Every structure is written in structure tokens, then in C-alpha cells.
Amino acid sequence: MFFSPVAVSQWSPAFVEDLLPAAEKTALLYRLSYLCLASFPSLERLIRRRAVETQLLFGSSDATMLKCILTSENLVQSLFPMLANAVEKNKPVLAVKFLGKARVWIKDIITDVDRIVEKYDLHNKDVASSTSDVVKEKKDTDKKITEQDHKLKQTEKTLDDLKSELQKTTQELDETEKKINRKIQEIQVFARSITKASRGLGIFAAIVPFVGLIVKSIYKAVRDPGNVARMKALEAELNRLLAEKTALRQKQWQVQLKIVDGQMKVAKASFERNSIPDPVHLKDVQSGLTKIQAILIQLKHFWESVAQMLDYLEQKTFVGEDLIEDLAELKDEFLASIKSAEEAWNSFGAGCKKASVIFKLQTKDAYRFLEVSPSSLSKEAWEKEYESVKKRLEKIDPPQSVTSSATPALSK
């Protein structure tokens, strides 16, 4: 066998679809927290400080994305052409040298992403600490309040019901995710059994770490009707699960919006009674930051898997004596795989560029609301600001599930 694929994850060049709503939602929830803590200067300052720290963290994340962009471009513009040239001239030693350069690039990215992930972890702890500070001050203030009006209690009950519905939907979504992962693993195992019989497909799988493209290549290269039918059946089952996931995500998002609205109604009632509202939106900020951190962790795992595949390619193709002799006869297959790899990596680079733009915009524009203290707003201006943020939250689309043809990747 030429190459043994590693386990599958759902990493994709379209990862930016998850990043954008998470980043936008984080800024808007900071803004809601800022509004809800109007008239409490010490807490306003606390939220402002944490929001500025998030801005700076997004700036660092943008720098990491730029490094991913440059590395993707280096793979397409430098490594692949040099590998192709080495193969054409039957120079395996030269190919090993080029793969070593790629390994250095990727190691630098893994180190950078590790550093950023650690910063997100520390920052999230700071936000959690700030949440505790708000809770403490709220308790001290609420000691002065002895009455709860009927409307507030009704709103809180509705909010509890919505939270229960959200929990149930989230559990269904988690179960669907598990089913999707099992189905992808089933597809991967089946694809692996087919690539054992085809060196060309093995080469392709080694340098194109996106399972969707591997499936397409199997359709083109495999003539056995039984294998083709089996792959189509597995792909249809996966697409059904992905559609179910999309529907659950949309339902989850709609319930979350209702919860945000309910939380704001409770906050408004508390605001009018001069009580500090629960820091619910600040807690949601932590969820947004955790989501972005998880995306970056997936990015790190992706690059680690690429490094692993390059090592395997080097050892099994350019170092093993038995395969060096076959390099000439595999030349056409190898060059064709490199051409396809360039297209896949161009797509990944484009996704990194979109992520870079997202971080830039979040750093530059999304936190301008900090320039105005919410305590300076009249009741009418406060209401107008609240409605504006609410509408913007409603316009954020939940990320769509990526279909199997949209190139989920092979990862650790």
C-alpha cells in the first residue's frame, strides 16, 4: 500500500463559516453586557477592559491566520513545483530536502497556534473572573430589593422553559454529530480499503488531505459497480445526517435568540428597579471565545496531520529503497496528484484569508461601542441601542453543515 489515511475529522477549508458568527456574536454580547451594566461605573470599566483584551487577542489571531495563508501559498507556489521537478528528474534526495522545509513551516504554525490557544484559555478565565465579580456585586445590591413583580416572574419562567428546550436541542445536535463522525469514519475505512489496490489513489490521499476530493477521485478511478454503489450509499447517509444537523442548528439558533430576548426583558425589568442584572451575556461571551478557541485547536490538529502525512510520504516514497526504484513509473500519477493538491490548498488558503478579514474587522470596528458609556444614555437611547443590537444578533446566520463534497479533511 502506498499510503494509509489517518482518522477523519470534519475539518474543512470552510471553517471560516463557524468563525464568523462566533466572532460577531462575541462582540454583540459584549455590547449587551455593557448596556445591561449601565449606571454601575466599576462594572462598565470591567467590561470595557475585557472587551479591549478580546480585541487584542483577535489581532494576534489575525497574525496567525496570515502565517497560515503564507504557508498555504508556499506549499502551492514553492513546495509542490519543487516536488514535481524532483519527481520528473528522479531525485528522491532532493524531494526529502523540500519536504524538510515544509516541515519547518508547519512546525512554526503549530507553535504559533498553541500560543494563541493558550492566550484564549487565559483570557476566558479572566472573563469568567469578571463574571464572578459582577455576580458578587449583584448579590450585594439585590439585598436591598425585596419585591419581585409578577411580570418579571412570568418572564423568568418562560426563560427557564426556553433553556430546557435549548438543552434538549443541543443534546440532539450532539448525538447527530456523533452519528456524523461515525459515518465519516465508515467512509474513511471503506476508502482506505479501495486505495490499497491503487497506488495513484494512495499518492492522491497523501497530499490532498480532504476526504471529499478523495471520494470524487474514487468515483473517477474505480470501475467496480459494487464499490461505487457502496460509496454512494454511504455518502447519501452522510448527507442525510448533515441535513439533520443543519436543521437542528437552525432550531438551536432560533431558541438562543428567544433566550437572548427573554434575558434582555429580565435585564430591562431589573434595570428599571436599579438592580444589577445577571451577567448572562458575559457568560455567553465565554462560549463565543471557547468556540473560536476550538476552531484554532482544530486548525492546529489539521496542520499536525499534514505534517504526519508529509513524513509518511517522505519515508514510504523517497526513502524506502523498494519504492525509489518505482518512482519513475509512478511519475505521472504523482504529478497528477500534485496538480489536484494545488487546487485544494488554494481553497484552504482562501478560507484563511477570509478568517484574517474577520479578525481584522473585529479588531477595528466591532468594539467601537466602548467609546460611549451606557450610563450616559437616556432611557430612549438605551432602548434604541438595545433594539439595534438585537436586530444584528437576529441577522447572524448559524453556520451551515458542510456536505461531504465540500471537502472535510483528514485529521488526527
Residues 241-298 pLDDT 10s:
989 998 998 898 888 888 888 887 777 766 655 555 666 677 777 777 887 888 888 7
- Class for the domain spanning 13-142+157-406: mainly alpha
The pLDDT score that the predictor gives to residue 221 is 64
Q: If you search the block for the grid coordinates 513546495, which residue do you land on?
A: 79
pTM for the predicted model, two decimal places: 0.58
The pLDDT score that the predictor gives to residue 11 is 46
The pLDDT score that the predictor gives to residue 341 is 77
The pLDDT score that the predictor gives to residue 190 is 77
**Which amino acid, residue 241?**
L
The pLDDT score that the predictor gives to residue 2 is 29
Per-residue pLDDT reduced to its tens digit, 3-43 = 233 333 344 556 667 777 888 888 888 888 888 777 777 77
Q: If you search the block for the grid coordinates 508556499, which residue do you land on?
A: 74
Give the residues across from 409 on adjacent strands.
Answer: 210
**Which amino acid, residue 363?**
T
Spatial contact of 370 and 27, defined as CB atoms under 8 Å apart: no
H-helix or E-strand spanning residue 403 = none
The pLDDT score that the predictor gives to residue 67 is 86
H-helix or E-strand spanning residue 368 = none
C-alpha closest to that of 358 among 113, 127, 66:
66
3-class state of residue 276 by DSSP: coil
The pLDDT score that the predictor gives to residue 410 is 35
C-alpha closest to that of 398 among 26, 10, 24, 21:
21
The pLDDT score that the predictor gives to residue 1 is 28
Residues of the chain with pLDDT under 50: 1-11, 320-324, 401-412
The pLDDT score that the predictor gives to residue 265 is 78
